[in-house]
């Protein structure tokens, strides 16, 4: 049986600081294939090469991945500063309209880290350039030292709304997650429902209110150890079920049950 296709948003990168590539983490593809049960397809997120309409016809769902570049602050009406870091304007040009089109059409997507932030910006929200500079906030960035496993280690709790979407999905009011981000939500976009928070109040989980498709998005990286982690696995399984429903033409019954 042919698996439904999940388009994985790639990031611009340089090999040896000189050869440009569109890149995607192996763990993203593994999570989509092994946990969601879908075929991963890496997307070159560049409007010169692909269009939103083409992507929506070619793919059944989308994984909005993390990435070192941040959403450009001009996308939410602010001026870029050194604190905002690096940017990928080509990715901005694809993902932001893609998110709005998926919300309108009911096509499923899962947002991760930068993808979580993209969903908020696409719906009219804004971002803080550096969470750790805010009074009372912790450092959410990736630890500079240690093995990859240590950098993706569980570092803080995320608390969910009692009786909310994520509470129901995980069967818990609080879970432990990794944290590898510098930016975070400042103001929530239209229809954005923040449904999970770090201990310092940083938004960590959201969905789009009233959307008929799967729109769950998280600030952490559930793709790490997705098959074995008790938090990551149900998230990717639920996303996979929504993508399978979409591909089968069964509407978004699965995603409606949890969003």
Catalytic residue numbers, as ranges:
113, 221, 223
Please say whether the beta carbons of 174 and 136 come within 8 A: no
Strand partners, 159: 174, 197
Of 218, 257, 220, 228, residue with least CA distance to 241: 257
Helix H or strand E segment including 64: strand 61-64
> How many other C-beta atoms can be found within 10 angstroms of the C-beta atom of residue 150?
9
β-partners of residue 20 are 14
Q: Which residues of 33-64 are buried (b: 16+ CB within 10 A; e: fewer)?
A: eebbbbbbbebbbbeeebebeebbeebbbbbb
Q: How many CA atoms lie within 13 A of 60 on its CB side?
A: 25
Task: For residue 215, give the 3-state DSSP assignment.
Answer: coil
> How many residues in total does the chain contain?
259
Q: How far is it, in rounded angstroms, from Cα 190 to Cα 133?
A: 26
CA 161 to chain centre: 19
């Amino acid at each position: 049986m042919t698996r439904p296709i999940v388009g994985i948003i790639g990031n611009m990168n340089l090999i040896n600081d000189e050869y440009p590539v569109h890149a995607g983490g192996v763990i993203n593809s593994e999570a989509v294939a092994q946990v969601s049960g879908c075929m991963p397809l890496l997307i070159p997120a560049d409007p010169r090469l692909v269009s939103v309409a083409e992507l929506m016809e070619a793919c059944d769902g989308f994984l909005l991945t993390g990435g070192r570049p941040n959403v450009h602050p001009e996308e939410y009406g602010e001026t870029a500063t050194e604190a905002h870091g690096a940017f990928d304007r080509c990715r901005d040009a694809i993902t932001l309209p893609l998110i709005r089109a998926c919300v309108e059409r009911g096509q499923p997507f899962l947002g991760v880290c930068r993808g979580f932030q993209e969903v908020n910006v696409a719906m009219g929200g804004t971002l803080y350039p550096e969470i750790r500079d805010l009074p009372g906030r912790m450092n959410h960035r990736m630890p500079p030292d240690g093995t990859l496993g240590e950098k993706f280690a569980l570092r803080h709790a995320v608390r969910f709304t009692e009786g909310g979407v994520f509470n129901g999905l995980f069967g818990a009011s609080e879970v432990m997650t990794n944290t590898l981000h510098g930016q975070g939500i400042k103001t929530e976009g239209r229809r954005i429902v923040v449904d999970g928070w770090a201990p310092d109040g940083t938004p960590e989980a959201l969905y789009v209110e009233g959307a008929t498709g799967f729109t769950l998005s998280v600030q952490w990286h559930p793709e790490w150890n997705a098959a074995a982690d008790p938090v990551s696995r149900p998230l990717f399984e639920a996303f996979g079920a929504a993508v399978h429903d979409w591909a089968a033409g069964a509407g978004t019954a699965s995603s409606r049950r949890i969003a």
